[in-house]
């Protein structure tokens, strides 16, 4: 029976990794909230732990990081902000707050499962890697079908709002997508098993960093990296800039970590890492004036232009951000967790802030934003101080998650909760080893 339980935990760990690399596959819907299969698996995992390993679950709950406690407390307190907002705005959809709490609790079930199953994290990493492979294959199929005038998407099986589909202009395939005409994109955008390209790029970046922090890269890894980079570059997404910068940060850090740069050059390796990262960001922020090469190079050019604040697409995002900030000034204490979209629609007919820092500020107010920033700061510094190489490199994955949250408002995706869970799991293991040596 013990062996069987161990095997079940290993399988659950693998599935948590595999199913974290998508955001389109859902099992049912609560109100207007889609319950993704990853969240459903997290719930099943917690039920399994309650039945067979309550001690380990309660131990993980007891060791919850204080920074996460403060952030969760700010979310609970935001219900008071919601009441204040609803008093002055009739017709406020308070149900969105509770739908958000349901999704949050299910996300926490994934987070705590990662911590409890930390003994099987290599199985989880294997699942993440296989998920990346599947996403790459799907993106290649999307490109092939796009070029022949059709489309490949899971929308037919899992339809939901904001599901962007790439298809050539005027092609007959649009007949089958008439119900989401406004979400059609008439240029190729790699999205894999994601609703849109930006979430796909953010997820793939974090998955690459996690996998390389736990497993030695092989030839197939670099082949997939090449294919993935080409697909993303062809997509013309401004996120390509962050993708390349994060990868260069990772390779720079791992190279620097292998030499005693402080002894040889008299400076800290982290100082060099920060300098290199800053130079990379500055370099890629420079807009190319003219590039007349292949489609791939054109895609890279579009990506760099897309990262420029003066780009037409980013002008629209900036308009949304300004509207969101003006709304925040109207309700500076916050309007309640998961209420930003509804509140912005009522205020200015916009629907997002396109910056998760601003979203947190709108929903949880200044106190919530401080708790949110503290959560990231504690996790990043905790990994740097307490985790040994090569796994210490997962702090770059945490940095990547922050960058994408700031640049695109991707929020707490499944991958982010897995990242945070791995961060906490590594720190718990370090503390346990220290206690063990002292005893």
| DSSP state for residue 179 in the 8-state scheme | G
DSSP letters along 73-142, please? HHHHHHHHHHHHHHHTSTT--THHHHHHHHHHHHHHHHHHHHHHTGGGHHHHHHHHHHHHHHHHHHHHHH
pLDDT exceeding 90 applies to what percent of the chain?
49
Residue 390: is the preceding peptide bond cis (ω within 30°)? yes
For the chain, the domain total comes to: 1
Residue range 305-314: average pLDDT? 48
* pLDDT reported for residue 179: 63
Q: What is the domain extent for residue 75?
A: 2-438
Nearest to 321 by CA among 356, 295, 293, 291: 356
Residue 269: pLDDT above 70?
no
* pLDDT reported for residue 409: 82
* pLDDT reported for residue 2: 55
Q: Please provide residue 58's backbone torsions phi and psi, each rounded to the nearest 5 degrees.
A: -65, -35
Q: By the 8 A CB rule, do 114 and 124 touch? A: yes
How far is Cα 26 from Cα 226, in angstroms, rounded to an integer? 30
* pLDDT reported for residue 174: 55
**Mean pLDDT, rounded, of the chain:** 83
Handedness of CA 426, 430, 431, 436 (dihedral sign): positive
Least confident range from 84-88, 151-155, 276-280: namely 276-280
Provide the CB-side half-sphere exposure for 39 (13 A, CA): 25
- Per-residue pLDDT band for 252 (boundaries 50, 70, 90) equals confident
Q: Per residue in 199-215, pLDDT tens? A: 999 999 999 999 999 98
* pLDDT reported for residue 288: 36
- Per-residue pLDDT band for 113 (boundaries 50, 70, 90) equals very high
Least confident range from 73-82, 156-165, 260-269, 314-323: namely 260-269
Q: By the 8 A CB rule, do 129 and 418 touch? A: no
Q: Cβ neighbours of residue 52 under 8 Å, at least 6 residues apart?
A: 5
Per DSSP, the chain holds a count of helices (H) and strands (E) of 17, 4
- Return the bridge partners of 67, or none: none
Least confident range from 127-141, 248-262, 361-375: namely 248-262
How far is Cα 122 from Cα 99, in angstroms, rounded to an integer? 33
Q: Could you tell me which residue, 171 or 40, shows the higher pLDDT?
A: 40
Q: Could you tell me which residue, 258 or 402, shows the higher pLDDT?
A: 402
Q: Provide the CA 208 distance to its chain's centre, in angstroms.
A: 12
**Two structure tokens written together for 245:** 């910068």
Residue 280: pLDDT above 70?
no
Q: Cβ neighbours of residue 117 under 8 Å, at least 6 residues apart?
A: 9, 12, 13, 16, 45, 124
Q: How far apart are the first and last CA of the chain?
A: 31
CA angle 74, 104, 420 (to 5 degrees): 85
What are the C-alpha distances in Å from 287 to residues 282, 291, 292, 297, 354?
10, 11, 14, 14, 21
Q: Per residue in 297-308, pLDDT tens? A: 445 445 444 444
Q: Please provide residue 185's backbone torsions phi and psi, each rounded to the nearest 5 degrees.
A: -115, 125
* pLDDT reported for residue 259: 65
128, burial (CB in 10 Å: exposed 0-12, middle 13-18, buried 19+) = buried
* pLDDT reported for residue 103: 94
Handedness of CA 235, 236, 239, 245 (dihedral sign): positive
Q: Per residue in 134-157, pLDDT tens? A: 999 999 999 998 888 888 888 888
| Number of neighbours of residue 42 by Cβ within 10 angstroms | 27
Q: Could you tell me which residue, 180 or 268, shows the higher pLDDT?
A: 180
Least confident range from 4-8, 93-97, 254-258, 268-272: namely 268-272
Q: Could you tell me which residue, 170 or 7, shows the higher pLDDT?
A: 7
* pLDDT reported for residue 437: 55
Q: Cβ neighbours of residue 432 under 8 Å, at least 6 residues apart?
A: none
Residue 26: pLDDT above 60?
yes
């Amino acid at each position: 029976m013990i062996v069987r339980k161990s095997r079940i935990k290993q399988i659950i760990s693998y599935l948590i990794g595999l199913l974290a690399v998508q955001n389109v596959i859902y099992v049912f819907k609560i109100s207007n909230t889609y319950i993704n299969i990853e969240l459903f698996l997290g719930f099943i995992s917690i039920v399994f732990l309650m039945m067979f390993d309550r001690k380990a679950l309660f131990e993980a709950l007891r060791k919850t990081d204080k920074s996460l406690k403060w952030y969760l407390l700010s979310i609970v307190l935001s219900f008071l902000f919601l009441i204040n907002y609803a008093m002055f705005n009739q017709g406020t959809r308070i149900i969105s707050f509770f739908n958000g709490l349901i999704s949050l609790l299910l996300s926490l079930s994934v987070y705590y499962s990662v911590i409890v199953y930390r003994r099987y994290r290599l199985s989880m990493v294997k699942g993440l890697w296989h998920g990346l492979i599947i996403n790459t294959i799907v993106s290649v199929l999307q490109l092939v079908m796009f070029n022949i005038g059709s489309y490949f998407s899971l929308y037919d099986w899992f339809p939901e709002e904001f599901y962007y589909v790439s298809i050539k202009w005027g092609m007959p395939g649009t007949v089958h997508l008439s119900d989401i005409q406004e979400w059609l994109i008439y240029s190729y955008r790699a999205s894999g098993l994601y609703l849109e390209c930006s979430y796909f790029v953010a997820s793939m970046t974090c998955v690459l960093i996690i996998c390389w922090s736990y497993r030695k890269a092989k030839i197939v890894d670099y082949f997939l990296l090449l294919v993935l980079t080409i697909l993303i570059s062809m997509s013309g997404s401004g996120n390509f800039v962050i993708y390349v910068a994060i990868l260069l940060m990772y390779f720079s850090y791992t190279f620097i970590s292998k030499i005693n740069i402080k002894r040889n050059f008299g400076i800290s390796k982290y100082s060099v890492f920060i300098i290199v990262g800053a130079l990379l960001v500055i370099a890629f922020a420079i807009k190319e004036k003219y590039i007349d090469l292949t489609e791939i190079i054109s895609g890279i050019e579009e990506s760099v232009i897309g990262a420029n604040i003066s780009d037409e697409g980013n002008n629209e995002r900036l308009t949304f951000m300004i509207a969101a900030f003006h709304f925040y000034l109207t309700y500076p204490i916050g309007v309640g967790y998961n209420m930003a979209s509804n509140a912005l629609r009522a205020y200015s007919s916009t629907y997002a802030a396109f910056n998760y820092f601003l979203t947190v500020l709108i929903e949880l107010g200044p106190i919530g934003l401080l708790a949110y920033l503290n959560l990231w700061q504690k996790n990043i510094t905790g990994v740097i101080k307490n985790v040994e190489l090569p796994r210490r490199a997962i702090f770059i994955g945490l940095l990547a998650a922050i960058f994408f949250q700031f640049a695109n408002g991707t929020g707490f995706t499944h991958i982010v909760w897995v990242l945070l869970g791995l961060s906490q799991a590594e720190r718990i293991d370090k503390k346990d080893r220290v206690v063990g040596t002292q005893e």
